[in-house]
């Protein structure tokens, strides 16, 4: 009985390899598109300050850079206090 | 012209050290001068898999720091001519290996050997980055399993950006080695097929190493599987992979031990 039971279970369990393949394809497409840069924010901030400083004199602390990560897109928010 | 080859994977336990030893021995049997170098500082194991754990006196860090000469640290294999091992340090901190010291050791190894095979530690930390740093070519070891494939993809990205070659605008030659492959399970749709892994990673296939009890047997004995049982399925698969590294064109199949008939009945197929 147990013997037949084993065979039966194998037959009713569908192969899971296609699921693995699809999950990997979706995940890697996402990971390749947005490579994790540990210091993306720092690098962006530095270069933004540099670009602004070429035209207006601003203090580094007057530049605020923030990234909001959402499922489909990420939003980059930059706020600069320019002296009047 | 010497070639520096890194054996890497990201994920641990997929068979980097086994593959380093097996490919190293197979290349040496082909008449190549080969050194296998363990980069897993603090957790060395290549010496054990090669059966040389009692012969380690000096290691990679001693040489990189100038405290030992390269020839004092190289352990010549007793079974195969032309094969040598450079062990990792078991006691030192992994930061003890300096980039400059390593560059000098690699240069000296290039002058003495045809192949410098670097066994990378798992992960993407300093040790793994140093192991791939000077590579001309890479063998990416992956199991047909989701976490291994994902980590391989990450490592491929690093090979394309963080190596000396990549920084010069050149390409590290990449080869995919699929290990622990079970043809019968892949045939039943229970395991990713080699074609799936190749499609996902877009790296040309170097070989398929079947899951085999011979691999554990060889490491128990301290012998590369290509020496322990040269006629076994994994040994033949590694042997073919080594010849492909030398530029030979050999059709890739999954060497089988016992499952030929079953494989046919259940429709298992190679690559």
- Residues B87, B93, B95, B101, CA torsion sign: negative
Spell out the residues 6+ positions from residue B44 whose beta carbon is closer than 8 angstroms to its own. B38, B59, B87, B88, B89, B90
Q: Tell me phi and psi for residue A4, to 5 degrees.
A: -70, -35
> Is A38 within 8 Å of chain B by CB?
no
**From residue B211, how far is each of B200, B219, B256 by CA, in Å?**
21, 14, 10
> Which residues of chain B are modeled with pLDDT < 50?
259-264, 266-271
**From residue B166, how far is each of A21, A34, B70, B132 by CA, in Å?**
29, 20, 28, 11
Residue B7 parent element (H or E): strand B3-8
**From residue B79, how far is each of A7, B48, B231, B241, B242 by CA, in Å?**
47, 15, 17, 21, 18
Q: Quick one: pLDDT at residue A82?
A: 80
Q: Quick one: pLDDT at residue A5?
A: 57
> Is A26 within 8 Å of chain B by CB?
no
Distance, in Å, from the CA atom of B119 to the CA atom of B4, rounded to the nearest integer, reads 11
Q: Quick one: pLDDT at residue B220?
A: 96
Q: Quick one: pLDDT at residue A79?
A: 86
Mutate to test the interface with B, among A17, A26, A35 (most CBs of B within 10 A): A17
Name the residue with higher pLDDT: B107 or A9: B107
| B 140-179: CB under 8 A from A | 145-146, 149-150, 153-154, 157
**Is A20 within 8 Å of B200 when comparing Cβ atoms?**
no
Name the residue with higher pLDDT: B81 or A41: B81
Q: Quick one: pLDDT at residue B268?
A: 42
**Is A18 within 8 Å of B149 when comparing Cβ atoms?**
no
**Is B200 within 8 Å of A24 when comparing Cβ atoms?**
yes
* Chain A residues touching B188 at Cβ < 8 A: 15
* Chain B residues touching A31 at Cβ < 8 A: 150, 153-154
> Is A25 within 8 Å of chain B by CB?
yes
Distance, in Å, from the CA atom of B110 to the CA atom of B3, rounded to the nearest integer, reads 7
Task: Give me the percent of chain A exceeding a pLDDT of 90.
Answer: 15
Kindly indicate the confidence band of residue A54, based on its pLDDT and cuts at 50, 70 and 90: confident
Spell out the residues 6+ positions from residue B259 whose beta carbon is closer than 8 angstroms to its own. B183, B184, B268
**Is B191 within 8 Å of A23 when comparing Cβ atoms?**
no
Q: Please list the alpha-helical segments (H only) found in chain A.
A: 2-12, 17-33, 40-53
Residues B15 and B141 sit within 8 Å (Cβ to Cβ): yes
Q: Tell me phi and psi for residue B180, to 5 degrees.
A: 55, 40
- pLDDT, one tens digit per residue, over A13-25 is 788 999 999 999 9
Q: Quick one: pLDDT at residue A69?
A: 72
């Amino acid at each position: 009985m147990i013997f037949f039971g084993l065979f039966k279970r194998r037959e009713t369990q569908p192969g899971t390899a296609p699921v693995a393949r699809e999950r990997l394809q979706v995940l890697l497409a996402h990971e390749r598109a947005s490579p994790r840069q540990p210091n993306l924010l720092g690098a962006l901030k530095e270069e933004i300050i540099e670009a602004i400083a070429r035209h207006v004199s601003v203090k580094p602390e007057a530049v605020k850079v923030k990234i909001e990560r959402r499922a489909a897109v990420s939003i980059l928010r930059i706020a600069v206090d320019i002296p009047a | 012209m010497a070639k520096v080859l890194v054996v890497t994977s990201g994920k641990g336990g997929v068979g980097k050290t086994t593959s380093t030893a097996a490919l190293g021995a197979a290349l040496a049997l082909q008449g190549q001068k080969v050194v296998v170098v363990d980069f897993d500082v603090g957790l060395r194991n290549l010496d054990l898999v090669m059966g040389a754990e009692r012969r380690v006196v000096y290691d990679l860090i001693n040489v990189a720091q100038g405290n030992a000469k390269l020839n004092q640290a190289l352990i010549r294999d007793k079974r195969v001519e032309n094969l040598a091992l450079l062990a990792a340090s078991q006691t030192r901190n992994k930061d003890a290996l300096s980039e400059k010291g390593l560059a000098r050791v690699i240069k000296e190894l290039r002058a003495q050997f045809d192949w410098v095979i670097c066994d990378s530690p798992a992960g993407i930390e300093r040790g793994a980055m140093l192991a791939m740093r000077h590579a001309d070519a890479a063998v990416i070891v992956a199991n047909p399993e989701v976490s291994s494939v994902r980590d391989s993809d990450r490592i491929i990205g690093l090979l394309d950006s963080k190596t000396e070659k990549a920084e010069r605008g050149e390409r590290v030659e990449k080869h995919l080695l699929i290990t622990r492959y079970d043809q019968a399970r892949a045939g039943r749709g229970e395991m990713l097929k080699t074609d799936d892994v190749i499609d996902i990673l877009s790296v040309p296939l170097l070989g398929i190493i079947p899951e085999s009890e011979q691999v554990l047997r060889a490491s128990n004995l301290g012998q590369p599987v290509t020496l322990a049982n040269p006629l076994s399925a994994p040994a033949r698969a590694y042997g073919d992979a080594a010849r492909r590294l030398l530029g030979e064109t050999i059709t890739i199949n999954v060497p089988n031990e016992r499952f030929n008939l079953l494989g046919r009945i259940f429709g298992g197929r190679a690559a």
